[in-house]
Every structure is written in C-alpha cells, then in structure tokens.
C-alpha cells in the first residue's frame, strides 16, 4: 500500500490522507450511532415484548380467577345441600353453566362427583353441559373407577383448595381441555365426599395464541405447570413434549434454564442460538401465570430485530460514499494548487538523498513555510557536503585501525587452546567472552609430560591491542618455559624476569598455574596475584586460600611460593578471572563470590555444563547491562586412573572377581598383608549385603579404590534403596548364638576390620567407604 502511494504525487497523497481521516471519522460515527441505535431498538423491543407477555399472562390470570370464583361459588352452594338432593345438584350445576356462558373461555361442562369418604374411586358423576340447540343437558352416571377416567385426580390434594389439572384430551369431544376443581363436604358431613369442577375447552385459547404475532415473527407459547407445551407451531411438540424434554432433544440448555426460572416465578428474557420455532438465533421472553402455575413465552427472531439497524447502516453508507467522492474532488484541487513548490523541493531532496548535490532551489517561494523549508534544504546541502568530506577522511583512518584490530583479534583467538585432550584421567572445559573485540584474559592447558598436566588462568592489565600482545607474550613464555619442567616455582621465576625485561609501559599479569599428577592426583600450584580458584570435593565447591605472591612483570628476581593439594576422583578445579565476580548489573552491584559459590552448588560432573551454568547465572544477574570486563573460566575434573575402578552386577557369583581385583590393586599400592586380609573380609560382607538387599531386581555395584593421606580406601556405591548400615546398633556378640538376633554381623565385622568407615547418600546412590592405614 505504501509503495503504491509513494508512486503518486504529493497532492494525491495529501488528498488520500485527508479522505482517509474523514472516512475514519464517519465510520467511527456510524459505528457509534449504529451501536446506540441497536441498543435502543433492543431495549424498546425487549420492553414491548415483555409488556405484551406480561399483559397476556395478566389476562389469563383474570380468566382463571373467574373460573375459580365460579367453582368456589358452586362448592359453597353445594356445601349447604345434602348428597342425595339431586334436584339441588341440577339447579346448582345449570346455574354454573349459565354463569360462564358469556365468558371469554369455552366451558365444555360443569360437574359434581359424589363419593363415599372411605372410597374415592367409586361414586356418582353429575354433569351439566350445553347442547347444540342451546339447551342445558343434566345427566348422571355411576362411576366404578374414577381414577381410570381421570388419572390426574391422583395428584389432587385431599383438602378444600382449588386445583387445576394438566391439559388432557376429552374422551367425548376429542379436544384439549383442562379442569378446575375443588373438594368439598356436603351438609352435615365430616369428611370430603364431593368434587365441584368446571372443564375448560382450550381450543379457543390455542387458536388465539397460535394467531398471535409480534413484530412480524414473534410467536407466543403456552406451557402447563409441568412444562408441557399447550401451544406450539409444531404439532409434534404441542401437548406431547415438555420444555425440559425439548431442551435435551435439541441440545439447548438455555431453554431448560429459562423454563426453570419461569416456573420459579421469575420474569425475563434470554438469547438462544436456535429454537424449535426458528432456525436462527432468537430472543426468548418468559413470564409465569402465577394463578395456576403455568407459563407464557414469546419467541422472537433476531434477524428481524436487526432489520432497522441494517437499513440505517445502508442509508448512512450511501451518504458517506457520496460525501467522500465530493470531498475527494475538492481536496485534490486544493492540494494541487498548494503543493507545486513542495513537489519541486521534494524532487530536489530526493536528488540529495541519492548523493547528487549539483542543483539548488532557485525559485522565489510564495509561502513563508516553503521559504523556511527551502532555506533549510540549502543549509542541509552545504552541511552534507562538508560532513561527507570529513567522514571520508575518518572512514579511511577507521578502516585502517579496524583492520589492525581484526588481525590482533584473530591472532589472540588462534593462540587460545580450544581442542580438549581426550584422557581417561580428566575432563576439561574452557570459556572466554572478551569485553571488547580484543581482551586481556587468557587460559591455557598442556601436557608437561605423559603423567603431568598443567592448567593456567591469567588476566593482563588493560584492554585492546596492547593487552592482547602482552597476553600472547605471557602465554608463550609460560608454555615454553614449562615444557619438561615440573618445578613451577622456577617457571614463574623465569617468566617474571622475561616479562620485566623492556616493560616500559608497566603492564603486568596475574597468573594461577597448577600442575596435576594424573596418576596420583597430586597438585602443585602457584598463585601470582590472581583471584582464588575454587575446589570441588565431596562437600561441594569452596574457595581455596593460596599464599599471596607478587604479580608477574613488576619486579625482577622475585621468588614464588609453591603449594600442594591432592585431588580425589571426582574433584574439580574451577579457575576464573575477576570478570566473573565483578560483573555489574544496572544498580552497579557486583555478581560477587557468594553468588558464584551458590550457583556452583548446582554443578554437575560435566565441566562444560558447569561453565554454561555460571554464565547463565551472570547473564540473569546483569540482564541488559553492558559487559565491563572479560569473562574467562576453566573447569578441570579429575577422574583418576581406570585401574582403581570396577563395576560388577550385584550378584554373589561375582565375589571372586571382586576379590581378585582388590588383591591386584592392593599389591600395586603396597598394602600390608594383614591389612589386605582385613580389606578382603570386610569387602565380602559389604558386597554380599548389597547383592542380597539393595535391589529388588538386577543392579550393579561400583567399586573405586584410591590412596589419600597414607590410607587405602575402597568405596562401594549402588543405586538400590536408600540404606545406612552404620545407623544400626552393633549386635551383642557376648550372647549365645541361639539368643542373638539375625542380621548386622557383616557390617559389624566390616567396622572392626577397617581403620575407617563412612556412609553417604549422593545423587541417589548409597556410598559406603572403608579404609586401612598403609603404615
């Protein structure tokens, strides 16, 4: 759309813009007015429809009141006569028929049923009704089973109260009728022994309701007390189905809700997506006929309701189109006259945008606004020409510097070790993220000989190319001087003197270097002013406390203190620069050593995973704040020699394999003969306990041996159920065999035969470790 507009003149674009704004205003007005009109129409029809339903219900209540009054009067008169006074019965019933002759309702008959108080089902039926010739016929007949003739009578309460039956089909006339009756007592009677009733013909009411029309499509429905449709356009529903049955049949729960509210005495309306009267959406008005507990509903099609709104919208739209076309013509003429010079300035600005500054605006502007614009365009041309010349010179200088910086960055990147050695005794991972394109941090790792591996972490003062050059010099000196020389005190002494030579810029470097004996786990290290590294043992990660040595490159002939630690299998050495702990967030707060220590408690056995874990923590802390220093990390995991490891299925059949492994391993580590016997016996008991009790099904036992502080250790680990054998009380070996409890003797022997024994539960594994002194 925008591309299409840009191809046309400024006048055309202004015209379209103005017309679009006018159209938007008109559409908003139409939308607002339509909404208001729709609400008004809805409210008006709702009000009118509800009043119509209520009025119809009021008329029905009045008619039923008339019927009830006649029945009540008949009852009151008969209560003063005796049951065997047939002539009085005839007079009363004929009088009732004559009373209702001019009523709006059609009455088929007035009748009295007399019965013995002890048996309501048998009695005499007296009836008066009009004949076709206008005369009144009075007759009587004996009834042997009143319930068979009038099944609904079972629901009539046996008390002096008006009762309306459910609609039913009269046997004689075949018409739908409803009966209004009241039990009574004849004169001098103690119990009820008579019924006075009027039977109403519903055909006139049905016809009246079926012919009712509201706003062309509104249909009126009459429902009995049970929800039965007395009237309905569909003959398969009228007098055959209740509103609740229809609701389930056509899957319309809203209909059931309306029915329940109506028979609960509520008046209202509800929108329904479809109905049995119309296919489309309808509005359903309902009100109760409280006098007899019936209900009256008005169903109105929504489509007819919206016709006035649609007509209004069509008229508004036509008027809008005519107005838009007229405005378009007028506005286009005005815009063309006003924008000629603007178009010239626009074309000139377009040339300037392409870099063509050969022309300038020469006409005399006839508008103050255009005069300002023309002057600004002229000044812009002059400024751009001056700025372009300056930028050309700056770009040439910057390109030269950028090329030098890119070369330095590539050299630095190439100098860092990225290919990790594959060795059974350790795993290593590194990470470096410079704050600029060229950083001052560096790490290194390399073999000094077959069994000694060095790791280095350093931080050069400053940033940029000078720091990168000093970094590469330091790295090269450390690697070359360390070659075939495991005396790292001498390495630091010689590297420091080399860095001091010709150091006119007074640059320096902090360095931590460690040399690991891959067979024994012994570590020698020197820390020359670098941040203290972290050591991970069974107790988790914690900071080391190395002796303070002078940084490299400051003072010649400086000596450096060498320290030693021992790495056990699974221990990690975590090295880093201050870019990690001094990473800042937007509030100028450092990441700090506490956060570093805390996040490393979640570390795994995989070094690369651990580095990503720390980096993720730093990024979460600093968020969008710019990185202020290089971030460099190295994680070294000591795995030890595979000669001290054995994995066996947890089965007593493998005891001999474990014993052979331990004998060979203890001989290699010069374990005394007596101690070897103790280890074998204790190991047999521990292995048997794991094989018998740790697993419900198949499992494995991991056996690890190592020496630390002149103690030979054997560590058993299994993934069976959690169980600490050291928590149980030792058995009383002073008792007779028959009095001792079963179990516990194996672990007791292991305790007695070992110089040290411990249990821990780590990473869902039981770990039991025994140890014997080598001396």
E strands, 591-699, are: 631-638, 645-649
**CA of 428: how far to CAs of 413, 417, 567, in Å?**
18, 11, 14
CATH number of this structure's domain 645-773, picked from the four choices 1.10.540.10, 3.30.565.10, 3.40.309.10, 3.40.50.300 = 3.30.565.10
Q: Chunked in runs of 10, what are the mean pLDDT values of the chain (775 residues)?
A: 60 70 73 70 74 81 85 89 87 82 71 85 87 82 82 77 86 84 88 87 78 71 90 87 90 90 90 84 88 87 70 74 75 65 69 69 62 71 74 69 61 72 87 75 87 91 79 90 82 93 87 90 94 92 92 93 93 94 91 94 93 94 87 92 80 93 89 93 93 91 84 92 86 55 71 92 91 90
CB 468 within 8 A of CB 440: yes
> Cα separation of 770 and 754, whole Å?
6
> Cα separation of 511 and 282, whole Å?
84
CB 411 within 8 A of CB 471: no
CB 105 within 8 A of CB 71: no
> Cα separation of 286 and 263, whole Å?
10
Say what the pLDDT of residue 292 is.
Answer: 86
> Cα separation of 475 and 478, whole Å?
5
> Cα separation of 230 and 534, whole Å?
90
Q: One fold for both 50-205 and 213-306?
A: yes
What helix, strand, coil percent values describe the chain, rounded to 5?
A: 45, 25, 30
CB 407 within 8 A of CB 586: no
pTM of the model: 0.40
User: Where is 456: in which H helix or E strand?
Assistant: strand 452-460
> Cα separation of 574 and 488, whole Å?
19
The yes/no answer on whether domain 416-638 falls in CATH 3.60.40.10 is yes
Say what the pLDDT of residue 1 is.
Answer: 58
Say what the pLDDT of residue 767 is.
Answer: 93
User: Where is 282: in which H helix or E strand?
Assistant: strand 282-289
Say what the pLDDT of residue 518 is.
Answer: 83
Provide CATH code, domain 213-306.
Answer: 3.30.450.20
Distance between start and end Cα atoms, the chain: 91
CATH number of this structure's domain 50-205, picked from the four choices 2.40.30.10, 3.90.1720.10, 3.30.450.20, 3.20.20.105 = 3.30.450.20
Following DSSP, what letter does each residue of 174-213 receive, concatenated?
--EEEEEEEEE--TT-SS--EEEEEEEE-HHHHHHHHT--
Say what the pLDDT of residue 190 is.
Answer: 86
CB 442 within 8 A of CB 471: yes
Backbone angles phi, psi at 347, to 5 degrees: -65, -40
Three-class secondary structure of residue 714 per DSSP: strand
> Cα separation of 633 and 635, whole Å?
7
- What are the structural domain ranges in the chain? 50-205, 213-306, 416-638, 645-773
> Cα separation of 474 and 495, whole Å?
8
């Amino acid at each position: 759309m925008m591309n299409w507009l840009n191809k046309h003149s400024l006048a055309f674009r202004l015209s379209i813009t103005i017309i679009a704004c006018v159209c938007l205003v008109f559409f908003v007005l139409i939308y607002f007015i339509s909404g208001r009109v729709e609400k008004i129409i809805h409210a008006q029809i709702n009000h009118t429809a509800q009043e119509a339903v209520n009025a119809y219900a009021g008329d029905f209540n009045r008619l039923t009141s008339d019927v009830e009054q006649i029945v009540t009067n008949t009852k009151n008169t008969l209560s003063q006569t005796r049951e065997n006074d047939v002539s009085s019965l005839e007079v009363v019933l004929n009088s009732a028929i004559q009373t209702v002759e001019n009523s709006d309702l059609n009455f088929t008959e007035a009748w009295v049923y007399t019965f013995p108080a002890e048996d309501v089902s048998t009695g005499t039926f007296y009836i008066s009704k009009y004949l076709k010739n206008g005369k009144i016929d009075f007759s009587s007949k004996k009834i042997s089973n009143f319930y068979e003739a009038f099944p609904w009578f079972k629901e009539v309460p046996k008390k002096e109260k008006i009762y309306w039956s459910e609609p039913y089909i009269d046997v004689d006339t075949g018409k739908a009728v409803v009966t209004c009756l009241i039990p009574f007592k004849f004169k001098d009677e103690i119990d009820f022994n008579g019924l006075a009733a009027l039977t109403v013909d519903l055909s006139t009411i049905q016809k009246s309701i079926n012919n009712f029309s509201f706003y062309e499509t509104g249909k009126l429905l009459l429902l009995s007390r049970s929800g039965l449709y007395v009237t309905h356009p569909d003959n398969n529903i009228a007098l055959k189905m209740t509103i609740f049955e229809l609701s389930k049949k056509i899957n319309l729960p809203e209909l059931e809700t309306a029915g329940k509210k109506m028979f609960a005495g509520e008046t209202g309306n509800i929108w329904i997506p479809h109905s049995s009267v119309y296919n489309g959406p309808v509005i359903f008005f309902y009100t109760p006929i409280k006098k007899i507990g019936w209900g009256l509903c008005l169903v109105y099609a929504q489509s007819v309701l919206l016709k006035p709104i649609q007509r209004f919208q069509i008229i508004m739209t036509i008027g809008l189109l005519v107005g838009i076309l007229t405005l378009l013509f007028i506005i286009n003429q005005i815009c063309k006259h006003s924008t000629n010079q603007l178009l010239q300035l626009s074309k000139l600005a377009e040339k300037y945008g392409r870099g063509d500054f050969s022309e300038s605006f020469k006409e005399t502007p006839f508008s103050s606004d255009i005069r300002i614009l023309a002057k600004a365009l002229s000044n812009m041309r002059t400024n751009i020409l001056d700025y372009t010349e300056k930028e050309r010179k700056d770009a040439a200088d910057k390109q030269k510097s950028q090329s030098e910086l890119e070369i330095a960055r590539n050299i630095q990147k190439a100098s860092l070790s990225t290919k990790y050695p594959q060795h059974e005794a350790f795993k290593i991972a590194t990470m470096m993220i410079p704050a600029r394109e060229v950083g001052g941090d560096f790490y290194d790792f390399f073999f000094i000989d077959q069994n000694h591996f060095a790791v280095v972490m350093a931080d050069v003062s400053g940033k940029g190319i000078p720091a990168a050059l000093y970094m590469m010099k330091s790295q090269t000196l450390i690697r070359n001087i360390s070659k075939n020389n495991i005396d790292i005190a001498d390495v630091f002494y010689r590297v420091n003197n080399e860095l001091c030579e010709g150091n006119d810029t007074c640059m320096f470097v902090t360095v931590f270097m460690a040399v690991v004996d891959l067979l024994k786990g012994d570590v020698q290290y020197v820390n020359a002013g670098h941040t203290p590294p972290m050591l991970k043992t069974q107790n988790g990660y914690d900071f080391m406390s190395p002796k303070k040595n002078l940084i490299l490159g400051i003072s010649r002939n400086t000596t450096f203190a060498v320290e030693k630690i021992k790495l056990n299998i699974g221990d990690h050495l975590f090295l880093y620069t201050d870019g990690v702990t001094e990473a800042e967030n937007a509030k100028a707060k450092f990441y700090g050593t506490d956060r570093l220590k805390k996040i490393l408690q979640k570390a795994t056995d995989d070094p690369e995973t651990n580095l990503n874990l720390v980096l993720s923590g730093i990024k979460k802390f600093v968020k969008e704040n710019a990185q202020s220093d290089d971030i460099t990390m190295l994680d070294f995991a000591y795995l030890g020699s595979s000669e001290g490891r054995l994995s066996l299925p947890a089965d007593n059949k493998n005891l001999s394999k474990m014993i052979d492994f331990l004998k060979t391993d203890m001989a290699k580590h010069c374990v005394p003969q007596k101690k070897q016997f103790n280890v074998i016996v204790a190991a047999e008991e521990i292995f048997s306990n794991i094989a018998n009790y740790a697993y419900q099904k198949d499992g494995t036992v991991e056996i690890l041996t190592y020496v630390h502080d002149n103690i030979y250790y054997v560590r058993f680990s299994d993934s069976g159920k959690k169980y600490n054998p050291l928590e149980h009380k030792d058995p009383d070996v002073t008792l007779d065999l028959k009095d001792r409890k079963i179990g516990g003797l194996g672990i007791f022997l292991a305790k007695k035969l070992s110089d040290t024994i411990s249990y821990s539960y780590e990473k869902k594994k039981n770990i039991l470790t025994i140890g014997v002194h080598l001396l």
